[in-house]
Each structure stands twice: as structure tokens, then as C-alpha cells.
Amino acid sequence: MRAAVLVEPGRLDLQDVVLDEPGPREVEIRTAAVGLCHSDLHYIDGTFSTSLPEILGHEAAGVVTRVGSEVESVRIGDHVVTCLTIFCGHCRYCTDGHLSICANRSALRKRPRPVATTPDGTAIGTMSGIGGFAERMVVHENGVVAVPAGVPLDRACLVGCSVLTGVGATTRSVRIPLGADVLVVGCGGVGMAAVQGARLGGAGRVIAVDISPAKLDAAKEFGATHVINAAHQDVLQAVRELTGAGVDFAFEAIGRRETVEQAVACLGPGGTATVLGMIPDDQPVRIPATDLLFNEKKLQGSFIGSNQFRTDVPRLLELYAQGRLKLDEMISMRLPMDHINEGFDALRRGEVTRAVVEV
Ligand code: APR
Ligand code: ZN
Ligand code: ZN
């Protein structure tokens, strides 16, 4: 099959790859569509490292073509969305309903043979056990969820990462009281989904921050009530002018130490800041400790929206069917896999909310 492989940081290489057959609890999926996420770009640009060569891509949707002997949750022909929080279902976190931090998530991706190889036998890994930049994927059954066959797969794929992350962070990682003030820093696919989640969750002011005027215009379409251009405005001062003491909830959807610190600074007393972005090099975040104590501020992370994706993905697609969750508008570029690097160039330049590869 054809796959876009990261051989060394820089660009993806289109290659012919041999995919292994599914193991007992794995499924083979014919990829239909896959979103280009900044998490993929972190590995392409080398701001995060992984063992190479690897097939990146994790925001994918497709059709099940084969199932392993023990697979129970999906059948051949099912339309599925992948999610990178593969869960075991029986560890202390899973049984407590916190699937996104499953204790066995890495163990579940280990397999006796490499999932893919070059024609001459060199092992190729798959990102997060998915590897969506390929014509087919072999994924653990607990990394997929079946979706109604009528949902267009180019839109369904977005729910697997950016939408689950942004909406989950604003609805599962925190509970927003009706009318509370929300700040979303960074309006890419993840941030735009957080804007939508805040609106759906009953927020009052939804203040979106970005450095691109086009992104800020789009954020208004997704439900932002106010926007701040961080390239020209002092974000903290602008937030205080709008809210007085600061916001009740802030979400960092870029992956920068400085903007995490900014999100905490923009909180009012009792506020909670949630980190969605991947910050390179394990950089420490510096926040004034007395701000935590005297103002009872909180700082937390949300991994893929603290999701329970088997429940969340169908629910989110129902909200899409009702016209309450915007997915069509999130796609600002479509391209075939041969042009995947152009999609990442556009993402790097901050030009797209989501680029989707149609495989
Ligand atoms: N201030 C405000 N906005 C900024 C700044 C800044 N200093 N720097 C970049 N941005 C904006 C960009 O203009 C872009 O709109 O942040 C947005 C980032 O969006 P994407 O590149 O589309 O990233 P996305 O896929 O949404 O992921 C965001 O979440 O899952 C993680 O790894 C992912 O760290 C990444 C983050
Ligand atoms: Zn992602
Ligand atoms: Zn588990």
C-alpha cells in the first residue's frame, strides 16, 4: 500500500509499504480521510521526537476491511473513527471511567511483529498505534469506534482528535457553569473545537485569541463572542477590559510555555486553566505560586479532552447531524495523499483550521 512515512524530520516520503495482518484484537481499516494535526507536525518538524521510520496520522476515519479472531466491538464494513487514547478497559483508570490515562496504553500497542515494513523488511512504526497517512491501517479494536454509515468520513475523522480534544476539554475536563467566562488561546483545529465546546457548554463570554485575523474571524463563526489579536494587543489587558477580574476558564491550544503562563495570568480568582497543547522539550511552566494560593487558581492538563471516545464520538456526531456542532466549516483545505506535505506547509504557516487528506 501507499503511505506517507516520516523517515527523518523535515518532510513525509510517499512510499510503498507492506502492512501486517491484524492480530487477534486488531482491525484493518481502509482509510477514507485523515486530518492533519499539529501533533503530527511536531514530529515532522522535530520539535518532538519518535522512533523512525514511522507512519504518522491519527485523526482518521475509514471502513473496516478485516477483523482479528477476538474482535467484538466492530465488524467488516463498519465505518469507524480512530482515537489515539487506546484503552484496556480493566486498569484502575479505565474502571474509574478515565480512559484517556489508561495504564496499559503503551503495552496495548506492542505487537509480536512490526505493524508495517518496507518491501525489503525494515520495520516501520505507526503513530499512537494508528498510522493514518496510509491507504490502510491496523489498529487495536479499542482504538476505534463505529459511527453511523451516513456520516461523511471526511468530517467524521475530525472528531477523532481535534474535536474530541477541544470539546472534551471544555465539557469533560471542566464543567462550565451557565454564563461563565471562557478564554481560548490558539484557534487551530483544537482551539476552534474548544470555542465550539464552550458555546455548547453554556459559556457566557467566549474570548478567542490568535495571531491571525482570518482565524479570529472564523472563531466568531464557531461561537466566539470576543476576539483578541495577540500580535497587536496585550492579551491580559484586553481580557481584563472585557471581564474585570479575569476569566473563569482558560484553555491553551497552541503548545507554548508562554501562552500557558498567559492563560493562568488571565484567570480571575477561582479560575481553572487547562493545557491542551503539546509543549516541546518538557519545558517547565513558570507561574507565580501565590497566584495559585491566594487566588485559588488551578492549572491542569487535558489529554485528548479526557475523552471516553466510544461514548463521545457518536454523541458529537449527533450534535453535528443536528447542526449544533460545526464540522464542515473546520475543513479549510482538502488534498490527496500525494500532496500531504503541502497541507503541512499550510498548517505550519497557520493558514488552515484543518487540512484533510482524502485517501
Ligand atoms: N498567540 C496566539 N495564537 C498563536 C500563537 C500565539 N503566540 N502562536 C500560534 N498561534 C495560533 C496559530 O495562528 C494557530 O491558529 O495557534 C493556532 C495553532 O493551531 P494549529 O497549528 O492548527 O494546531 P492544532 O492542530 O489546533 O493543535 C494545537 O494542540 O494537540 C495539540 O500538538 C497540538 O500543540 C498542538 C495544539
Ligand atoms: Zn491530533
Ligand atoms: Zn486501562
- Residue 52 CA, ligand 3 centroid: distance in Å: 27
Catalytic residue of the set 39, 128, 173, 306: 39
Cell numbers for 17, please give them. Answer: 509499504
Per domain, the residue ranges of the chain are 2-163+306-358, 174-301
| Omega of the bond leading into 280 within 30 degrees of 0 (cis) | no
47 pLDDT tier (thresholds 50, 70, 90): very high
pLDDT per position as a tens digit, 236-273? 999 999 999 999 999 999 999 999 999 999 999 999 99
Cell numbers for 125, please give them. Answer: 512504526
Q: Can you tell me the mean pLDDT for 206-231? A: 98
Q: First and final CA of the chain: distance in angstroms?
A: 11
pLDDT of 127 reads 96
Does 276 sit in the ligand 1 pocket, CB within 6 Å?
Answer: yes
pLDDT of 52 reads 97
pLDDT of 207 reads 99
CATH assignment, 2-163+306-358: 3.90.180.10
pLDDT of 19 reads 98
244, burial (CB in 10 Å: exposed 0-12, middle 13-18, buried 19+): exposed
Cell numbers for 338, please give them. Answer: 500525494
Q: Which residue has the least CA distance to atom 35 on ligand 1?
A: 277
- Residues present in the chain in total: 359
Catalytic residue of the set 38, 42, 140, 226: 42
User: ipTM of this predicted complex?
Assistant: 0.99
Four-way CATH pick for 174-301: 3.40.50.720, 1.10.287.620, 3.30.70.1150, 3.30.300.130: 3.40.50.720
Q: Can you tell me the mean pLDDT for 44-62? A: 97
